[in-house]
């Protein structure tokens, strides 16, 4: 585990995500509280979506829960929410119902949800899905390859990929998907 990720987890910021940060931030001491950690991380994106400036969209080729490899390229022509989550992540649990509802509501318009679980056992994923349904395709990042490629260091991490397969927006931590400021930019891409 890299030093920044360890610092974030120790600071209680396990419910947040951040792409690779500039060296200046990574060299700073860990924030002293979860609130301070959240404030520091959210400064990278702000309270809502941030325009993606992190380069080309990384590949995303992972097995679904039936063991079939699925790739982001099969969703070209659709708008895709890529959500990195874990069963232990409380912010993930809080945002999944509204995110799923939005994806389900706009499925006929071309919106899809790819929910990427970060390295947990199939048993944990199945138990989680019995309690909290995800209205989208659940992918299993068993060895953390996608998490590394997408530079995710915590959960949840959300990305919006446009119909051409390019990341348009990203956000650190949970979002309130019922708010127009969160849903409208996604819907506008449809």
Range picked from 8-12, 26-30, 165-169 for highest mean pLDDT? 165-169
pTM for the predicted model, two decimal places: 0.80
What structural domains does the chain harbor? 47-188 (3.40.30.10)
Q: State residue 83's pLDDT score.
A: 98
Tens of pLDDT, residue by residue over 144-166, are: 999 999 988 778 999 999 999 99
Q: State residue 11's pLDDT score.
A: 36
Is residue 80 within 8 A of residue 164, CB to CB? The reply is: no
Mean predicted confidence (pLDDT) in 102-112: 98
Is residue 92 within 8 A of residue 165, CB to CB? The reply is: no
Mean pLDDT, the chain, whole residue set = 83
């Amino acid at each position: 585990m890299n030093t920044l990720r360890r610092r974030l987890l120790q600071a209680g910021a396990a419910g947040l995500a951040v792409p690779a940060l500039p060296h200046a931030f990574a060299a700073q001491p860990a924030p002293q509280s979860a609130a301070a950690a959240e404030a520091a991380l959210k400064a990278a994106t702000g309270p809502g979506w941030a325009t993606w400036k992190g380069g080309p969209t990384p590949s995303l080729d992972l097995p679904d829960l039936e063991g079939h490899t699925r790739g982001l390229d099969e969703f070209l022509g659709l708008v895709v929410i890529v959500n990195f989550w874990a069963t232990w992540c409380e912010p993930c649990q809080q945002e999944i119902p509204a995110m799923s509802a939005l994806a389900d509501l706009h499925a006929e318009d071309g919106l899809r949800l790819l929910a990427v679980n970060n390295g947990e056992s199939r048993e944990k994923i199945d138990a989680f899905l019995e309690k909290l349904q995800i209205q989208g395709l659940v992918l299993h990042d068993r060895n953390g390859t996608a998490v590394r490629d997408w530079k995710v260091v915590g959960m949840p991490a959300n990305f919006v990929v446009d119909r051409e397969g390019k990341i348009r927006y990203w956000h650190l931590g949970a979002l309130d998907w019922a708010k127009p400021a969160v849903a409208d930019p996604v819907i506008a891409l449809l």
